[in-house]
Amino acid sequence: MMSEQIRQAIEEAGLIPVLRARSTAQAHALVRAMIAGGVTVVEVTMTVPGAVDLLRELRHEYAGQLLLGSGTVTTAAEAQATIEAGAEFVISPSFHPDVVERTLEMGKLSIPGALTPTEVITAWRAGADYVKIFPCSAMGGASYLKALLAPFPHLKLIPTGGVTVQTAESFLRAGARALGVGSDLVNLAAIDAGKPETITETARAYLQVLARVRAEMQAD
């Protein structure tokens, strides 16, 4: 996919589940449950055992159905390996200029992490397509996101950390371009308990919030 297509797909979806799992089997079960709930984008973190191989497997299994990205990427080598395996975007918890550079060289979207105003603008000027605000909840959540956008309204921010079904609306109204969602959706306990439907229902709930809030904001 071209960068603009990836960007459009991420913003249309509005939801980026952060996939962390203890095994490949658990990861596959999580993805199946999320897709059943309407999820179309997944970030596979490097903390998953065999993350690069998992990306290849998911690309093969869900070709044309799922937009894949890699997460917790902190080196240019990791960025390249995950892109070659199928990642269309690369996310980091922190800002690494070499990761941004390699990702852009390979024609994919770069989403470095940052927190302070200085870090955020530095990452943006390095060529980031979006900046991941992490851990957003530790700084006040949606109110912090809104405060960042006051002097930098042109920035495209994706909050991660503290995003739940209950807080999703406040983040969207504060200006989030998409939501990075962790354990509130990517629920390992539900998989371990044999209740993937819990994840499916949560995914649907997120998408309902996204659809409703976007419709209300367009109408305003």
- Of 88, 108, 132, 156, which is the active-site residue? 132
126 and 92 Cβ atoms separated by less than 8 Å: no
Count of CB atoms within 10 A of residue 102's CB?
21
Taking CA atoms, 123 is separated from 17, 64, 208, in Å, by: 22, 30, 32
Give me the residues paired with residue 143 across strands. none
CA 139 to chain centre: 19
61 catalytic? Reply is no
Phi/psi at 130 (5° precision): -140, 160
CA-to-CA distance for 166 and 158, rounded, in angstroms?
A: 17
Known active-site residue 132: yes
Given CA atoms 33, 162, 9, 4 in this order, what sign does their dihedral have?
negative
Start-end of H helices in 37-178: 51-61, 76-85, 97-105, 117-125, 142-149, 168-174
Identified catalytic residue from 4, 43, 156, 197: 43
Question: Which residues carry out catalysis?
Answer: 43, 132
